[in-house]
Structure 1
Amino acid sequence: MSTSPRRSRHPAPAAAGGGVLGRLIDLSPAEFARDVWARTALYTPRAGDFSDLFSADAVDELVSRRGLRTPFLRVAKDGSTLPDTSFTSSAGVGATIPDQLDDTAVWRAFADGATLVLQALQRTWQPLGDFVAGLSSDLGHPVQANAYVTPPQNRGFDDHYDVHDVFVLQIQGTKRWLIHEPVHPDPLRDEPWTDRRSAVAEAAKGEARIDTVLGPGDTLYLPRGWLHSAQAQGAVSIHLTLGIHTWTRYVLAEQLVQAALAMLRDDPRMRTTLPLGTGEPDEEIDVVRRLLGAAVEGADSAPLFHRARRGQGRPAPLGPLAQFDAVHGLRPDSAVRLRAGLQARLEGRCLRTRVGWLEFPESDLPPVTRLLDGDVRTAQDLGIALVRRLLRAGVLVPAEP
């Protein structure tokens, strides 16, 4: 059995200043960033107790009582995903939408050896919503949470790689993981493992870099591209996969070129029709190359990056009734704060957030700048009219006492 070089038997508590990330590893964030992140797999036994995040009871509630629809559940068996129609149906009077989970069909599939994959749990299970938001903040990359529920001695998927990094958190039962080094390092988002199916299958026959059984409280970090497969052992296995949709330089390059092309749309030299009868456009390509290079030098792609980043996540939940009370009960001493997860950014006189943008007069810019630090403020401190406007926009929320 081969394992990762790091196998601490005494995990450090999260209180050591590691934030949410500190719950998952036995390294400091600085050590993780320097030695592990995007470089190598990391197995951490007994990292902590994750029962506050997810459980078997949570699985049963989500499947049988929440009225979930596809694609919040996938069902997989023997390396293939079952059709949605095999485990969904109408939910009866008042809820006739046909793609809701049918708990009887889900049970029968599970009893027959299928793995249940509960997807995007940060949207449907509040403890994971808060956890994922914290991890995304720690890492600076978007994160989603899936749960894999596998019957004993079964596995849902064959050896494969993901195009995003993952943290695996074992919740219940045990699962044997086989990890192999990449056949295609650092795959981009449009380079799935199915493009290299034969190479993946061949590499999976070799000696594993990590061959270990994860038990409750163990974690595993895999950079994108690392091959893996997992099989439940003698009991039902539940594990969480936290998918980290990493930003890359390639994505930044795409955004930079996009910004440069936007600049060139109004350049008469770029709008000019090519000469009649153009056959070999080498000379024209040289002109375009020079113009495009100059545009790239002067382009500002930061707004595109921040717009894309805002689009990758959602702000913290907003209760409409609590917000109504906050607006209509606003007093000078009312305490408010910036809504979490907004990715708020002040660009000139415009505040851009995940819930839209607002433009302000110069006189409002100092209080708007102050509220961006996330501290609790009073309506009197910021200005009652401004606070009322931002509460109505869903940018500010009442601060908890």
Structure 2
Amino acid sequence: MTHDDRGPGSLRPALARCISVPPERFAEEFWGREALLSRADELERGFDDLFSADAVDELVARRGVRTPFIRMARDGDVLATGAYTGSGGFGAEVADQVDSEKVLERFAGGATIVLQGLHRLWPPIIDFTRQLDDDLGHPVQVNAYVTPPQSQGFDAHYDTHDVFVLQVAGEKHWRIHRPVHADPLASQPWSAHRAAVARAALEDPAIDAVLRPGDALYLPRGWIHSATAGDATSVHLTVGMSAYTHADVVQALVARVGDSPRLRAALPLGVDFADADAFAPIVQETVAALVELLEHADASATGTSLARRFAGAVRAEPLAPLATIDALARLDASSTVRWRGSLRARIEQDGDRVRIVSATKSLSLPVEAEPAIRRLAEGAEIAVGDLPGLDAESAVVVARRLVREGIAVASA
């Protein structure tokens, strides 16, 4: 089963703050199809709670950020890491830490700062990204682009993932063109269509707009874009969404070729791969066997395979080790617990045991705990003593185990 910590009736709150149309309409009309420009006055709130210019300075000046969590670019070229990193000095002799003096010099010279992987670095974005993972059902990452006035970090290009552009500070002029290669996969970067992209960028844009603080822009993968900062420093977040595709379903299906005796069979002795006429019947027989396999494909097994992949690509709610140990020491029947936010796990009965299987572990408990586990998985907080199917003493034992294993969280 999949679980997240949104309340009943929630309408994808993280997604909703990025778009000016209802989530249902976005899903039907825009997701993977059309770009969407949303102005600040059409959205519920801005994005300064997620990030800010002060946050940029803190990360660059005080956090010891290392590559690849930072890079810099100018006029379409990524700078060598030595141009903005160096040793952390005594006690932190790591050579690729951000060097604020070098960053200042490059930034003043027109280079863009790119802070990568903020969904692993910056607490508000960590929480936002986890919520957006839940809302979309596709993995999410977040980078920040900090561009000096009147500068452009990258030439016209397309991404192989969908993006939200969330303008945090300053202004940026965006020129958006329709794809020259629709729905590109990760193996089909824009550089493989460089000439076509360059030609398209000279045509009239589909969107030509200046983004100001609080504005948001959605671009499906493949849409060509370039941007130039206005008269002040521009800070925007790029939320990258790696959409699963029908090609991923095919890969999951084909991964089961070992289930087919016909496909496991050896090719003829002395097969000549270079002789097309002789090899053609082998290809035809292989295709027929593959079609037979796919016609009897198990949707449940294929879905489980992709669910495991997704669970491995996203992260559940972070755990606080010290606070968790303190909570365990105090935990009793009056304590409240809840399922760990965004933890994706299957709950399976196996004889006299019930198993919780996540991307990182499998936990087995007596089957008597199954009602309590399923109650927790519904999402709301519950007093330990109220866990169904268990007496107070057993409920404390089960709750302790679930909290200790990172399945549940004890409320503060």
Do the two structures share a fold, i.e. TM-score over 0.5? yes
Could you tell me which of 183, 195, 200 is aligned with 2:180? 183
User: What is the CA distance between 1:195 and its match in structure 2?
Assistant: 0.6
CA distance in 2, matches of 1:289, 1:341: 40
Of all paired residues, the percent bearing the same amino acid is 45
Q: Partner of 1:398 in structure 2?
A: 410
Please list, as runs of the form range in 1=range in 2, the aligned pairs for 1:251-262 lying within 5 A after superposition: 251-258=248-255, 260-262=256-258
In structure 2, relative to structure 1, the CA distance for the partners of 1:361 and 1:289 (3 Å cut) is: farther
Q: Partner of 1:157 in structure 2?
A: 154
1:273 aligns with 2:270: no
Stretch of structure 1 that moved more, 109-118 or 20-29: 20-29
2:257–2:263: 8 Å Cα contact kept in structure 1? Answer: no
Gap regions ≥5 residues in structure 1: 1-15
1:75–1:116: 8 Å Cα contact kept in structure 2? Answer: yes
2:133–2:314: 8 Å Cα contact kept in structure 1? Answer: no
CA distance in 1, matches of 2:348, 2:199: 51
Q: Partner of 2:304 in structure 1?
A: 303
1:23 aligns with 2:26: no
One-letter amino acid matched to 1:392: R
Q: Partner of 2:259 in structure 1?
A: 263
Which secondary structure does the structure 2 equivalent of 1:96 belong to? coil
Could you tell me which of 337, 355, 358 is aligned with 1:353? 358
CA distance in 1, matches of 2:74, 2:237: 18
CA distance in 2, matches of 1:170, 1:274: 58
One-letter amino acid matched to 2:323: A
C-alpha offsets along residues 81-135 of structure 1, whole Å, 9 cap, x if unaligned?
1111221111112211211111111111111100001111111111111112222
CA distance in 2, matches of 1:23, 1:124: 21
Q: Partner of 2:381 in structure 1?
A: 376
1:315–1:354: 8 Å Cα contact kept in structure 2? Answer: no
CA distance in 2, matches of 1:273, 1:353: 37
CA distance in 2, matches of 1:145, 1:398: 29
1:289 aligns with 2:303: no
1:314 aligns with 2:315: yes
Which secondary structure does the structure 2 equivalent of 1:360 belong to? strand
C-alpha offsets along residues 195-222 of structure 1, whole Å, 9 cap, x if unaligned?
1000000110100111111111111111
In structure 2, relative to structure 1, the CA distance for the partners of 1:252 and 1:270 (3 Å cut) is: closer
Higher relative contact order (CA 8 A, sep 6+): 2
1:342–1:355: 8 Å Cα contact kept in structure 2? Answer: no
Which secondary structure does the structure 2 equivalent of 1:375 belong to? coil
2:258–2:264: 8 Å Cα contact kept in structure 1? Answer: no
C-alpha offsets along residues 212-253 of structure 1, whole Å, 9 cap, x if unaligned?
111111111111100000000111111111111111111111
One-letter amino acid matched to 1:329: R
One-letter amino acid matched to 2:330: G
User: What is the CA distance between 1:17 and its match in structure 2?
Assistant: 5.1
1:152–1:237: 8 Å Cα contact kept in structure 2? Answer: yes
Which secondary structure does the structure 2 equivalent of 1:295 belong to? helix
User: What is the CA distance between 1:384 and its match in structure 2?
Assistant: 2.0
C-alpha offsets along residues 180-209 of structure 1, whole Å, 9 cap, x if unaligned?
000011111111101100000011010011
Q: TM-score, normalised by structure 2?
A: 0.88
Q: Partner of 2:28 in structure 1?
A: 34
Stretch of structure 1 that moved more, 287-296 or 107-116: 287-296
C-alpha offsets along residues 278-301 of structure 1, whole Å, 9 cap, x if unaligned?
232333334333333333323421
Could you tell me which of 23, 32, 38 is aligned with 1:44? 38
Please list, as runs of the form range in 1=range in 2, the aligned pairs for 1:33-112 lying within 5 A after superposition: 33-46=27-40, 47=43, 48-112=45-109
CA distance in 2, matches of 1:77, 1:24: 28
For these two proteins, the number of residue pairs brought into alignment is 382
Stretch of structure 1 that moved more, 346-355 or 126-135: 346-355
Which secondary structure does the structure 1 equivalent of 2:13 belong to? coil
Q: Partner of 1:129 in structure 2?
A: 126
1:364 aligns with 2:366: no
CA distance in 2, matches of 1:204, 1:141: 29
One-letter amino acid matched to 2:317: A
The ranges of structure 1 where at least 4 consecutive aligned residues each deviate by more than 6 angstroms after the TM superposition are none
User: What is the CA distance between 1:369 and its match in structure 2?
Assistant: 1.6
CA distance in 1, matches of 2:346, 2:411: 21
